[in-house]
Amino acid sequence: MQSQDRHRVVAIDGPAASGKSSVARELARRLGFVYVNSGAMYRAVTWHVLQHGVDPADNPRVIQLIESAPITCDLQNNESRILIDDVDPADRLRDDRVNDGVALVSRIPRVREILVEKLRSYVRDRDLVMEGRDIGSVVFPDTPYKFYIDASPEVRRRRRALQGGRDSIASRDRADSSRSASPLVIAKDADFIDTSNLTIAEVIAEIISRLKLKNLRGLA
């Protein structure tokens, strides 16, 4: 029996700038669930690698560093938080060098193994909305509540620019979808939602109505 048999997980996967962070955070608030941003964990360990002067393409050194890093995953205001060496790197996670390095670090199977275990530990005693790339396909494949949200490349580029993001959506899409370890895929039992012409509120309303159809307990 997997632990999510006792606690519920709503998985929200999708590519960069699909709107999944805004949707997942607000959905969690509405449901009273904890919000977990798995991308922030991949970004935090990438930041740690760079802080130590390690090349993100140097797999053995990256693995050695992450295996020995004191990584603490806890909660702050009902949202996931990651501390490495007791430092919270939240303000640095969107730096250009992290944007550039995260695809290299996140394609390493051993790194994914370590982080997937930490992500799963969040469900031991709470209900979650977790967003990422492989939440419905790998981290919690048994959850019945999984969504894949997407938007056209043009809309995603516009959204990223409005957020002040400087990373290349196209190259990260390519890297996330083509890596061999847990690539970005649409889980076969995920509900697909195209958010190109929807507001955040409309996407959330759509997800909540589908969760009702799936009989998620506790929804009004």
What are the residues binding ligand DC (CB under 6 A)? 16, 38-39, 42-43, 102-103, 106, 132-135, 172, 176
Q: How far is the CB of 17 from ligand DC (least distance, A)?
A: 8
Closer CB to ligand DC, residue 106 or residue 195? 106
Is the CB of residue 73 less than 8 Å from the CB of residue 118?
yes
Question: Regarding beta strands 71-76 and 79-84, do their DSSP bridges make them parallel or antiparallel, or are they unpaired?
Answer: antiparallel
> Given the complex with ligand DC, which of 8 and 14 has the nearer CB atom?
14
Give the full edge-to-edge strand order of the sheet including 145-150: 71-76, 79-84, 34-37, 128-132, 9-13, 145-150, 191-194
For ligand DC, the closer of residues 100 and 194 by Cβ is 100
**Nearer residue to ligand DC within complex by CB, 21 or 33:** 21
Can you tell me whether residue 71 is helix, strand or coil?
strand
Nearer to ligand DC, 163 or 209 (CB): 163
- Listed in sequence order, the DSSP H helices in 133-198 are 153-162, 169-178
* Contact criterion met (CB below 8 Å) for 15 and 184: yes
Please answer whether residues 25 and 79 qualify as being in contact, where contact means their C-beta atoms are separated by less than 8 angstroms. Answer: yes
Q: Give least dist CB 189 to ligand DC, A.
A: 18
Give the shortest CB-62-to-ligand DC separation in angstroms.
14
Query: Could you tell me the smallest distance in angstroms from the CB atom of residue 213 to ligand DC?
Result: 26
Question: Minimal distance in Å, beta carbon 75 to ligand DC?
Answer: 18
